[in-house]
Amino acid sequence: MEKFGFFISKGRQINYDSNDRSIAEYIYEREPSFRRCIECGGCSATCTTGSMTKFSLRELHILIKRGENDKVMESLKKCMLCGKCILVCPRGVNTRNIVVLAKQAFQKSAAYAI
């Protein structure tokens, strides 16, 4: 990578040109209902984990979709797979499979090797 002689701070924008959306693609392919999410927050409102710690499935969805993947994996682990979110989601998103697939995608992807 080219280095300039001065420091460029990472922009605050979501860099849609360079962000890595492979995780999202991995999920889309295996769980198409991921595309149906409208970010209503029903899942995160009812969430067992979300009531005890900072964790929002809705937020994770949008971060993955935008390729803002840093720290997502750490968060995903907190899900208890309890299934409440599936029961409230108005769009019939198969939320738990998304959590599992996202974890899988991160594990498989060399870029996020832990």
Partner 1 sequence: MSKHVVVIGGGVAGLEAAGRLSREGLDVSLLEKDSITGGHLNRWFKLFPDRRDSSEVKDYLEGLTHANNVKLFTNVTIEKLNRDKDHFSVLTNDGKELIADAVVVATGFDLFKSSRKEEYGYGIYDNVITSADLEDMFRKGEITAADGTVPKKIGIVHCVGSRDEKAGNLYCSKLCCVTAVKQAIEIREHYPESTLFCFYMDMRMGGAYYEEMYREAQEVWSVNFIRGKVSEASETIDKKVVIKVEDTLAGRPLKMTLDLLILMAGMEMSEGGIKLAGLAGLKTGDNRFFEATDHHFGSNKSNVEGLFYAGTCTSPMNITETISHARAAVSEVVDYLKNS
Partner 2 sequence: MQFDPFVIPFNIGLNFILLYTVIRCVVWFRGLSRADKLRMQRGFFGTPFAQSLREIFLESLLHRKILKTNFRLGYMHMSLAFGWFLLIFFGTIEADVFGTRHLNAPYRAIFFRFFNPEHGRMGFESVYGFLMDLILAFVLSGLFLAIIKRFYSRIVGMKKTTRLKPSDKVALTALWLIFPSRLLAESFTCGAYGTGSFLTGTLGSWLASFLPAQQLAYPFWWLYSLSLGTFFILLPVTRYMHIPTELFLIFMRNSGIKTGDKTGSYSEVEVFSCSSCGICIDTCQLNTSAGITNIQSAYLMKAIRNNSNVAEIAHNCLMCGRCDQVCPVGIELSPIRMIQRRAGENDIAYKNTYKDYFRTRQITASEKPDISPVYNFLPEVNPDKADVLYFAGCMTHLTPSIKNSMVRILEASGLNYKFIDEDGGACCGRPLMLAGQDREARELINYNSQLIWKSGAQTLVTSCPICYKVFRESYYLDVEVLHHSQFIKNLIDEDIVKLNFLRKRVVYHTPCDLGRGSGVYNEPKEVLTHISRLEKSKFEDDKSLCCGGSLANMKIGSQKRSLIARDAAAELTRTSPDILATACPLCKKTFSSATTTRVADIAELVAEALIVSSVKRSTNKKIFSAKELAAIS
Q: Does 50 bind partner 1 (CB under 8 A)?
A: yes
Nearer to partner 2, 19 or 48 (CB): 48
Question: Pick from 9, 12, 16, 92: which binds partner 1 (CB under 8 A)?
Answer: 92
What is the pattern of x (binds partner 1, CB under 8 A) and - over residues 7-46? -------------------------------xxxxxxxxx
Q: Does 63 bind partner 1 (CB under 8 A)?
A: no
Q: Does 83 bind partner 1 (CB under 8 A)?
A: no
Nearer to partner 1, 59 or 66 (CB): 59
Q: Does 44 bind partner 2 (CB under 8 A)?
A: no
CB of 40 to partner 1, least distance (A): 4
DSSP 3-state percent helix, strand, coil across the chain (nearest 5):
50, 0, 50
How far, in Å, are 68, 71, 81 from residue 63 at the CA level?
5, 10, 19
Q: Determine the longest span between alpha carbons in the chain, in angstroms.
A: 54
Q: Are 57 and 79 in contact (CB under 8 A)?
A: yes
Question: Pick from 51, 82, 83, 108: which binds partner 1 (CB under 8 A)?
Answer: 51
Q: How far apart, in whole angstroms, are the C-alpha atoms of residue 69 and residue 72?
A: 5
- When computed from its CA atoms, the radius of gyration of the chain, rounded to whole angstroms, is 15
